[in-house]
Amino acid sequence: GAVVSQHPSWVICKSGTSVKIECRSLDFQATTMFWYRQFPKQSLMLMATSNEGSKATYEQGVEKDKFLINHASLTLSTLTVTSAHPEDSSFYICSAPQGVNQPQHFGDGTRLSIL
Amino acid sequence: QKEVEQDPGPLSVPEGAIVSLNCTYSNSAFQYFMWYRQYSRKGPELLMYTYSSGNKEDGRFTAQVDKSSKYISLFIRDSQPSDSATYLCAMCFSGGYNKLIFGAGTRLAVHP
């Protein structure tokens, strides 16, 4: 069964709206989670590493004020797309490793459509 | 040169065929190697996870890692239409908390 849960699975909203996406680890604690973005027919692009109790680490070119990450508990990380615009429309996916030297498991993704 | 090279396909095979999917990489420091399957509009699903060189088998799936050649493979035996998906190879320097480097993904279609 799924070990990482992501919500919502699909959101459509107007330009200028802020959208929050949740990523939860099920039955395990995740001190680190990862946020990816995926465009159609392309591979996953890492956006940031979410660290419980500290600031997220963003990849080069990713605006940290645009994509706010909060990892307030050991089972929940959130990604907020602030003042979203049509170019932010994409498939956002989170992942979490179950432990040291364990593989990352992915959520089912959130399809974000900004009108 | 990309760190991980993977032919995007598409690859079309008849049901029952043996499928071979491959990735090459340039950084010899990679230690952990993974194969994920991704259906359309879903997150990647872990299929195989291997450390260092060698083979690993799980049902119809076999993963091979050849670190000397910097080459990894995934074999699917007795392929089924339900195997039609995008297959992503991924690797990292050490396990768990380190970021993954993905290949482009290979789109596979298994037709009845």
- B10 — alpha (psi -120 to 50), left (phi > 0) or beta? beta
In this predicted structure, the answer to whether residue B94 has a pLDDT above a threshold of 80 is: no
The answer, for B94 touching chain A at a CB cutoff of 8 Å, is yes
User: What would the mean pLDDT of A13-22 be, rounded to a whole number?
Assistant: 96
Task: Measure CB to CB from residue B105 to each of A43, A46, A107 and give the nearest one.
Answer: A43
Q: Quick check: B102 and A44 CB within 8 A?
A: yes
Percent with pLDDT over 90 in chain A? 86
Phi, psi of A88 (to 5 degrees): -85, -5
Mean pLDDT for the stretch of residues A14-28: 95
**Could you tell me the pLDDT band of residue B45, with boundaries at 50, 70 and 90?**
very high
pLDDT, residue A2, reads: 67
Chain A interface includes B68 (CB < 8 A): no
Instruction: Write down the mean pLDDT value for chain B.
Output: 94
- Cα angle at A11 between A7 and A13, to 5 degrees? 140
CA B61 to chain centre: 10
Strand partners, B56: B63
- Give the minimum alpha-carbon distance from A115 to chain B in angstroms, rounded to a whole number: 19
The per-residue pLDDT for B65 is 96
Where would I find the beta strands (DSSP E) of A8-109? Answer: 10-13, 19-25, 32-38, 44-51, 57-58, 67-73, 76-81, 90-97, 104-106
Model confidence over A55-95: pLDDT tens digits? 999 999 999 999 999 998 999 999 999 999 999 999 999 99
